Amino acid sequence: MTGPSGGRDKIRVVPSSRRRTMLSLITGFVLVLTWYLAGCATVSRSHRTPITPVAGAATPTIGPDAYERSGRTPQLRLTLPPATSPRPFPLVVALHSLANDGREPQAKWGIDALAASAGVAVAYPDGLDKSWDAGTCCGQAAAEHVDDVGWLRALISHLEQHYPIDRHRVILVGFSNGGMLAYRYACEHPSEIAGIAVVAASRQITGCTPAAPIGVVAVHGQLDERVPYEG
């Protein structure tokens, strides 16, 4: 069938106008993907690990790295898998929607539970002014041309240096404005992530020509009035 981009995409249309209902569908995808990335790790009881140094992590570089120099470091929500999880473990970066922050995906998307069951780390970063610069959208971040892609790259590198993150098993999950940023990252740096999962989002940059194949799962309702399916 023909997708929003005009090409013939292999898409399963979800005919729903309830964007929050669609958002819940992505949790199942994240579960499947993280189980795959984690090599079908053994299920263990729910466990949330505080942000503390992990034994066996790579030695941090001397001096502040790009993430620390950005100044956007006062709050980072990070859930680590149980200490018994196989290492290095996959990383899921959950990108919130417009007018929200990292508390939205942590509280409403159910991904923290997957950190325990699938043995993955989950990061919940905050966009400046509760927005992400995905190109032509959205909010203050786009108006000021904030380099959110560059900042996310620095964040992922920072986490890799301080925790046993498997750099080849990083996925971005985004809702609305967060999904738009995931699309942009995939367009510009596809070889740096294993895939993206987006809900109720559209690509906000032109000339998307990824240099490498990348896995994409997109959930988008045809009755979505805020981010129309047809673009």
Q: Which of 92, 96, 125 has its CA nearest to residue 193?
A: 92
Is 183 a domain residue?
yes
**Lowest pLDDT segment from 143-152, 197-206, 207-216:** 207-216
Averaged pLDDT, 157-168:
94
In a domain, 2, yes or no: no
Q: Would 13 be classed as within a structural domain?
A: no
Percentage above 90 pLDDT, the chain: 59
Between these two residues, 24 and 114, which has the higher pLDDT value?
114
Give the type of residue at 14: V
pLDDT tens column, 187-202: 999 999 999 999 999 9
pTM metric for this prediction: 0.80
Band the pLDDT of 116: cuts 50, 70, 90.
confident
Q: What is the 3-state secondary structure (H, E, C) of the chain?
A: CECCCCCECCCCCCCCCCHHHHHHHHHHHHHHHHHHHCCCCCCCCCCCECCCCCCCCCCCCCCCCHHHHCCCCCCCEEEECCCCCCCCEEEEEEECCCCCCCHHHHHHCCHHHHHHHHCCEEEECCCHHHCCCCCCCCHHHHHCCCCHHHHHHHHHHHHHHHCCEEEEEEEEEEECHHHHHHHHHHHHCHHHCCEEEEECCCCCCCCCCCCCCCEEEEECCCCCCCCCCCC
Is residue 121, in this structure, part of any structural domain at all?
yes
User: What is the domain count for the chain?
Assistant: 1
Each residue of 71-86: pLDDT tens digit? 887 678 999 999 999 9
Residue 172 lies in a domain: yes
> What φ, ψ does residue 178 adopt, rounded to 5°?
-65, -35
Q: Which of 103 and 14 is assigned the larger pLDDT?
A: 103
pLDDT tens digits, 19-49: 555 555 565 566 555 555 544 333 332 333 3
**By residue range, what is the domain housing residue 127?**
19-47+64-219
Task: Say if 14 falls within a structural domain.
Answer: no
Q: For residues 142-155, b (16+ Cβ closer than 10 Å) or e, as one string? A: beeebebbebbbbb
Residue 3 lies in a domain: no
CATH number at residue 117: 3.40.50.1820
Instruction: Say if 105 falls within a structural domain.
Output: yes
pLDDT band, residue 161 (cuts 50/70/90): very high
